[in-house]
Structure 1
Amino acid sequence: MREVITLKAPAKINLTLEVVGRLPNGYHTIRSVFVRLDKLSDTIELRITRSETGITLSTTSKDIPTDKTNICHRAAAAYFAATGETAGVAIHIEKNIPVAAGMGGGSSDAASVFVGLNNYFKAMSPRKLEALGGDIGKDVPFFIRGAAVCRVSGMGEGITPLRSFPRMHFLIVHPGIAISTADAYRALGQRVWFMSNAARADISSAMARAVRARDVGKIAATLFNDFEACMEHAHPVIKEIKQALLAFGARGALMTGSGSAVFGIYASRKALLNAERILKTHYADYVIASA
């Protein structure tokens, strides 16, 4: 008997991303505000056969592996190892989220695998599932939690949903530059001298207050990303895109994650569509999406 489970794996953006420390194990601690983008998502299909064993993977993208190194394969293997459940699972990933763009596509895909398998086997509590997800990727627990906007801290395990938030219109531009997270953290360590300074302002707390107050102007004014200056230095087009978004009506603009996608916040859908039309004529080879 085979069961097919299909889930959407949404992208995310970071309204803030502060890297505030480096742990002895090499991981970093962060403060951030994540926003889930339901209008931009991958689709994950799981074909589960109880009478079989093994994990296979296929995808529409040529930019991600289909072997055991794929984060979705690792997620399925981790779930089976942690629960003792056995089955054959064929994973298919329909990719729409740009790869290595700072939008959490791989982590969201892995979270969907965890959620889909757990919906089928019902072998783990939601919090244990989040903890297992955190072993695979530090953004995975956020996507497992499923809240629309969250303040995230620690190594990604500290998740506080922000229940009140305003309607916002986002225009995302990805210049096609793939930035590895490891390379981004190396650059950060070389250039952000204040990373672990205890006196630095807690910008993510200020952003959380702005979100709860539903103050779009304050949200736009509080956008912040420790990685942005580093990545603009290495890839000047990131700053160019940010300036273009602002030039065509964005109330604020920021690189998300460790890059290279950049988003702008627009006051209305009409203003966003006008900017999208103009930017698509100039950046014809870039991925441009609204959410």
Structure 2
Amino acid sequence: MTVSGPSQVVHARAPGKINVFLKVGAVLDDGYHEVATAYQAVSLYEDVRAYPAADFSVSFSGSVDTSELTTDGSNLAIKAARALARQAGYRGGVRLEIEKNVPIAGGMGGGSADAAASLLACDALWGTEASKDELLAIAATLGADIPFALTGGTAVGTGRGDELSPALAKGQFHWVFALAEFGLSTPAVYTELDRHRERHAQDIFPAQLQPTVDPDVLQALRAGDPVMLAESMQNDLQAAALQLAPGLGSVLELGEENGALAAMVSGSGPTVAFLVPDSDSALELQVALSAARLNAVRAVGPVHGARLIHD
């Protein structure tokens, strides 16, 4: 990396994601799990503006409630900026202003998108000229979903979800998301999954140590076929999320009753994702969910990963 002088402001944007398939392996000795997932980046975006500063700070605005977010060194965007500065030998700081539109603690990778956009914005602001591989390596040290937020599109993730390989996807898939007014802790959902598997050990197959993505999912994505994808979508974390937030069950049912091809908790939840055939169906479902006093938004996928925006 080389470092040149900072510019005045840099704007970067990164997408949220959905795991159209998520299989979770058995718990390992270190308490973690290997996963096999098919990611799709969707058109709900986090916008990060980076300004020169002597120290590191972050503030939030946007269409979602950001009042509970931390703004100290534990924030993922700050961690990303500091990690890049350390690697590049940059001695200044950055002021990050983040406009959030991805649900917080909603299983859609909003914090990971913040970190990915912050890496890209700080690299441009500071003139560190990091390569894509260097940014991906930093991203992988910060969280499993951050490398995908950088790359976007559609990808298979293995290991902890950060070992990515691109997956072909034809056309556009249409999604409706029911956003919850609360969050779920990802570690808590994984812990509940382990308990669920212990409770039902006699009734379910033992989890694999190294799970794989179902070939039917990849075929459906390649074909651009929402009906085929609906039949093969899976999320091992859904049972645990429903155990922690039983009310999500009625949200899943409501979507299925109003035209969704498939309904699934997104990632670790509590956002619920509905796959629909087309844009008209998406609008109809959004109206039905809104009539039930749910906060519903529409999106399409796949979309590009983190990129610079020239205002």
- Say whether the fold is shared (TM-score over 0.5): yes
1:45 to 33, 42, 49: 49
Counterpart for residue 244 of structure 1: 254
Counterpart for residue 282 of structure 1: 292
Work out whether residues 255 and 263 of structure 2, in 8 Å CA contact, stay in contact via their aligned partners in 1.
Answer: yes
Counterpart for residue 140 of structure 1: 146
- Aligned pairs for 1:75-114 within 5 A: 75-114=80-119
Q: Tell me: CA distance 1:144–1:195, structure 2 relative to 1, closer, same or farther (3 Å).
A: farther
Counterpart for residue 135 of structure 2: 129
* Alpha-carbon offset, residue 157 of structure 1: 2.4
Which TM-score applies when normalising by structure 1? 0.91
Counterpart for residue 11 of structure 1: 16
CA distance in 2, matches of 1:198, 1:89: 41
Counterpart for residue 231 of structure 1: 241
* SS state at 2:11 partner: strand
* SS state at 1:100 partner: coil
CA distance in 1, matches of 2:181, 2:157: 27
* SS state at 1:144 partner: helix
* SS state at 2:237 partner: helix
Counterpart for residue 119 of structure 1: 124
* Alpha-carbon offset, residue 203 of structure 1: 4.3
Q: Output the aligned Cα RMSD.
A: 1.9
CA distance in 2, matches of 1:128, 1:199: 27
* SS state at 1:3 partner: coil
CA distance in 2, matches of 1:167, 1:119: 31
Q: Tell me: CA distance 1:126–1:94, structure 2 relative to 1, closer, same or farther (3 Å).
A: same
Work out whether residues 37 and 161 of structure 2, in 8 Å CA contact, stay in contact via their aligned partners in 1.
Answer: no
Q: Do residues 265 (structure 1) and 283 (structure 2) align?
A: no
Q: Tell me: CA distance 1:124–1:23, structure 2 relative to 1, closer, same or farther (3 Å).
A: farther
> Cα deviations across residues 199-221 of structure 1 (Å, max 9, x unaligned)?
97x44433112211222211000
* SS state at 2:248 partner: helix
Counterpart for residue 305 of structure 2: none
Query: Residue type of the partner of 2:267?
Result: G
Work out whether residues 83 and 123 of structure 1, in 8 Å CA contact, stay in contact via their aligned partners in 2.
Answer: no
Alignment length (residue pairs): 283
Work out whether residues 156 and 165 of structure 2, in 8 Å CA contact, stay in contact via their aligned partners in 1.
Answer: yes
Query: Residue type of the partner of 1:104?
Result: G
* Alpha-carbon offset, residue 198 of structure 1: 5.8
* Alpha-carbon offset, residue 107 of structure 1: 0.5
* SS state at 1:124 partner: coil
* Alpha-carbon offset, residue 290 of structure 1: 0.3
Percent identical across equivalent pairs?
A: 26
Work out whether residues 203 and 222 of structure 1, in 8 Å CA contact, stay in contact via their aligned partners in 2.
Answer: no
CA distance in 2, matches of 1:25, 1:127: 27
> Cα deviations across residues 49-93 of structure 1 (Å, max 9, x unaligned)?
5xxx31111112212111111111111111111221222310011
* Alpha-carbon offset, residue 23 of structure 1: 3.7
Q: Do residues 213 (structure 1) and 223 (structure 2) align?
A: yes
CA distance in 1, matches of 2:32, 2:233: 24
Counterpart for residue 222 of structure 1: 232
- Superposed structure 1 runs of 4+ greater than 4 Å apart: none
Counterpart for residue 55 of structure 2: 54
CA distance in 2, matches of 1:103, 1:197: 25
Which TM-score applies when normalising by structure 2? 0.85
Query: Residue type of the partner of 1:234?
Result: L
* SS state at 2:231 partner: helix
Query: Residue type of the partner of 1:161?
Result: P
